Amino acid sequence: MEITNVTEYEAIAKEKLPKMVYDYYASGAEDQWTLKENRNAFSRILFRPRILVDVSKIDMTTTVLGFKISMPIMIAPTAMQKMAHPEGEYATARAASAAGTIMTLSSWATSSVEEVASTGPGIRFFQLYVCKDRNVVAQLVRRAERAGFKAIALTVDTPRLGRREADIKNRFTLPPFLTLKNFEGLDLGKMDKTDDSGLASYVAGQVDRSLSWKDVKWLQTITSLPILVKGVLTAEDARLAIQAGAAGIIVSNHGARQLDFVPATIMALEEVVKAAQGRVPVFLDGGVRRGTDVFKALALGASGIFIGRPVVFSLAAEGEAGVRKVLQMLRDEFELTMALNGCRSLKEITRNHIVTDWDQPRVVPRL
């Protein structure tokens, strides 16, 4: 069967992967209301397309933290990609580089920063969980710097792991032939089989629950890399992130895997954008499956978007070729959406190109 959109990869991944692995990638927290809402919320935003615009040339390029990329579609950090495919993060890194975009490597990757760097050139960010042992954190950050990573995406929504009931039922643990490569050689224990989720127990042992804004400042004393704060959903925290020296904000609800009944990220985006007042770029992570979704995020003020699950599902289905195809399909759909909305460059995408169900009724001026 020919694959014609991003969503079709999920069913193939479900067939191919062991249940424990598929469920780990696919599931959300508790009732999974936010998981569904991350997708459904996009359908409450409609277009106001402008017609008779010369769209024979369309430019999707943009810059993120000063780095030029081919399109505002980037790869979010997703853990343990070798559970999806033997090449794991290597394949994802090569696909991102070929597409001319940014890959974010998870702290909990099954390939190390050095291994990912060895795949060749590319703009890469490193996602960081802050462990209780700050020496480990400093070491990881130094290794990412040495491996040529260009920014740190600091995850701030995980003082504890969300309750993911599929992982509890499956007694989720990392398959025995895989390791969390960035922690190899550090005395951080193993992810064991437990009577609930092995990952939840591991996180409880390693991740620092006392993490606060002062640690965002501390991080800037140990690295000169720009810091993106990932996991912001409110105006208040957007302002605090900027005060703390963040170079950018990623609006994220952790793929709806942490606190259920938080809003979809596309619903939280505009509040955060308004609070940022253009001082730092704001990115959207969560629920993007179509080029139309990318356009909607940019119309609401995002500087770019990150995709997570589409990467692991396509990786499971077709390896590097699958991830390349996902990036190409989203690129093609986004370009078409721009053309049909009458936009030739990203700066031409405005709030006036969409109407949302939370907008006040419009008074359209007569020309």
Annotated binding-site residue? 344: no
Annotated binding-site residue? 14: no
Annotated binding-site residue? 97: no
Annotated binding-site residue? 319: no
Annotated binding-site residue? 286: yes
Annotated binding-site residue? 332: no
Annotated binding-site residue? 106: yes
Annotated binding-site residue? 255: no
Phi, psi (rounded to 5 degrees) for 232: -90, 135
Annotated binding-site residue? 77: yes
Annotated binding-site residue? 79: yes
Annotated binding-site residue? 24: yes
Annotated binding-site residue? 9: no
Q: Bridge partners of 232? A: 251
Annotated binding-site residue? 308: yes
Q: Which residues are catalytic?
A: 254
Annotated binding-site residue? 119: no
Annotated binding-site residue? 258: no
Phi, psi (rounded to 5 degrees) for 303: -85, -10
Q: Please report, in range form, the residues annotated as the binding site for glyoxylate.
A: 24, 129, 164, 254, 257
Q: Which residues are annotated as a binding site?
A: 24, 77-79, 106, 127, 129, 155, 164, 230, 252, 254, 257, 285-289, 308-309
Q: Which residues are annotated as a binding site for FMN?
A: 77-79, 106, 127, 155, 230, 252, 285-289, 308-309
